[in-house]
Structure 1
Amino acid sequence: MTLQHQIVGNAMQMAVVQLQPGQTVYCEAGKFLFKTANVTMDTRLSGPGANGANGGQPGGAGGGMGGFLRQAMGTAMQVGQRMLAGESIAFQYFTAQGGEGTLGFAGTIPGEMRALEITPGRAWLAEKDAFVAAETGVDFGIEFSGLRTGMSGGEGFILEKFTGQGTVIIAGAGNFIDLDLQDFGGKLHVDTGCIVAFEEGVRYGVERVGRMNRQGVMNAMFGGEGLSLATLEGHGKVILQSMTLEGLANSLRKAQGGDKQGVTGGLFSTDVQ
């Protein structure tokens, strides 16, 4: 079944999902907002792809002790990968019972949301924490882009990978821009914090570009010549965001520091009698 949904809002978007009777979606912990009373909710350690649409519940990996052990090992591997990646170790599953059901999901920072259609020949990869919710036909996995890339590029070391078939909803910071690498000669340099998601045919790496004056202030700030940027190559679609998490965090720290100064010192100090 196609996931019926509507993305609403502006600065902080949310996805309102309409479930048909018996239809199930799952989300990462912390992304759920509300549901109608006829939608059941339970928490499971495994994603749906490893053991079928039942999300790793008993009976999903074949009968007998051998099936149980394979299921347990598969679940343990999934949980271990997510823990290593810093992701939530469990998923929340929602199923409509006795009629249509309505749910609401959202990201954790101000920004846009996007629904991606996953097919057997069209997988997507996304930056860590982009995942919000998906149909049980979509398998959520973790992909590591390599130690060298991770040390150089930061965020791109750990990627979320969506395979299978169905709708997956992702979220990012700020506004989104959709690009096709073919329109740019098959290669783009991007700030690692600006990448939201890209199709599986796109190759991800890190490249050092530019040179800076050794005597300049910029050189001192970056600690050497040039700057490391994420490199996206090949053919496929890319989604970028206008705000980086690092930029958002720095802005919040500056604002907090300014507030503290205004309260504890200066003209508006609480010490003024």
Structure 2
Amino acid sequence: MTLQQEIVGNAMQMAVVNLAPGQTVYCEAGKFLFKTANVSMETRLSGPSQGGQAQGQGQGGGAGGGMGGMLRQAMGTAMQVGQRALAGESLAFQYFTSQGGEGTVGFAGVLPGEMRALELDGTRAWFAEKDAFVAAESSVEFGIAWQGGRTGRRGGEGFVLEKFTGRGTVIIAGSGNFIDLNPADFGGRIEVDTGCIVAFEEGIRYGVERIGGLNRQGLMNAVFGGEGLSLATLEGDGRVILQSMTIEGLANALRKAQGGDKEGMTGGLFSTHTG
């Protein structure tokens, strides 16, 4: 069942979702805005796919099958929580179900910018930057996809991706404005600042490389608050969604607005980094 939703607002958009009786939508903690009184809210550690498996295993099979299903559910939940913790994600999901009639739930991202509803038909998965996910209906499965080798485990610059599979609607958000591209329209390959990536379809090949070191130019980057550039390469034929503003760019602009220019110049040079 397609999620009935409307994206409203301008500088800070919101998604208003209308739930049919019994329909469920889930989100990450911090993305919920409001709901009608007939919509129940529940917090779970397990994702929607894990919850579906548990329900199937718990029916029939006797006591032994029930115990085995509970054990598998607990192990699966622990793995999901561990993956999200390593990725720097919220450990729990919030589930909203309409009870006794149609219900309404509102969601929003955490930064000023656009929102987009993606429709999955079961043929292609979508990958999204780790802060892009807002909400999805319960038929959409959520997972973590590591990208960028060892660097990916740091989770600080878009190297950790969320993977959405199945059928249904996924709502994502980004900073600034969106632009849709297809690498196939540009010779099959585009190169992008990793902070500008919001989401892309399965079939797009994704890689990350670091440009800039502590040579003369790298030293200037460090003095002025940067450490080089993480460049993502996107190759293949499929939809790519980019955002016009990066979180780092927004943070730097806010710091300057607060009179933190001097601190930014010295902090980039003398701060210590690990890993």
The equivalent of 1:262 in structure 2 is: none
Aligned to 2:264: none
State yes or no: 1:248 paired with 2:247: no
Partner deviation per Cα, 1:54-76 (whole Å, 9 max, x = no partner): xx7x6443341101000000000
Question: Hey, what does 2:57 align to over in structure 1?
Answer: 61
Name the SS for the 2:180 alignment partner: strand
Task: Report Cα offsets for 1:184-235 as digits up to 9, x if no partner.
Answer: 11100101100000001101112467x99x76xx453247xx8541101111
Report the Cα distance in structure 2 between the residues aligned to 1:59 and 1:204, rounded to whole angstroms.
Answer: 35
The one-letter amino acid paired with 1:45 is L
Structure 2: gaps spanning 5 or more residues: 59-64, 223-227, 262-275
The CA deviation string for residues 93-146 of structure 1, in whole angstroms up to 9 with x for no partner, is 001111100110000000000000112211100101110000000011101014
Aligned to 1:22: 22
Over 3 Å counting, the alpha-carbon distance change for 1:42 and 1:208 in structure 2 is: closer
- Name the counterpart of 1:239: 241
Residues 22 and 254 of structure 1: CA distance in aligned 2, closer, same or farther (over 3 Å): same
**CA RMSD between the two structures:** 2.6
Q: Secondary structure at the match of 2:250?
A: helix
Q: Distance in 2 between matches of 1:99 and 1:252?
A: 44
Among the aligned pairs, what percent are the same residue?
77
Aligned mate of 2:169, from 167, 170, 178:
167
| Counterpart contact for 1:25–1:94, Cα < 8 Å | yes
The residue number in structure 2 matching 1:89 is 91
Matches for 1:78-117 after TM superposition, within 5 Å? 78-117=80-119
Residue 30 of structure 1 and its aligned partner are, at CA, apart by: 0.4
Looking at structure 1, the residues matched to 125 and 113 of structure 2 have their Cα atoms a distance apart, in angstroms, of: 23
Q: With structure 1 as the length reference, what TM-score do the two structures score?
A: 0.85
Does the C-alpha gap of structure 1 residues 16 and 227 become closer, same or farther in structure 2, counting only changes over 3 Å? closer
CA spacing shift, 1:184–1:178, aligned 2, 3 Å: same
Q: Deviations over 1:11-33 (max 9, x none)?
A: 00000000000000000000000
Aligned pair count?
251
Q: Answer yes or no: is 1:156 the counterpart of 2:155.
A: no
TM-score of the superposition, structure 2-length normalised? 0.84
* CA–CA separation in structure 1 for the residues paired with 2:206 and 2:105: 34
Taking structure 1 as reference, are residues 138 and 258 closer, same or farther at Cα in structure 2, changes over 3 Å only? same
Residue 221 (structure 1) aligns with: 220
- The separation in 2 between residues aligned to 1:154 and 1:94, in whole angstroms, is 30
Query: How far has the Cα of 1:154 moved from its partner?
Result: 5.4
In 2, the alpha carbon distance for the partners of 1:79 and 1:249 equals 29
Q: Secondary structure at the match of 2:185?
A: helix
Alignment pair present for 1:44 and 2:32: no
Give the gaps of 5 or more residues in structure 1.
260-273
- Matched position secondary structure for 1:257: coil
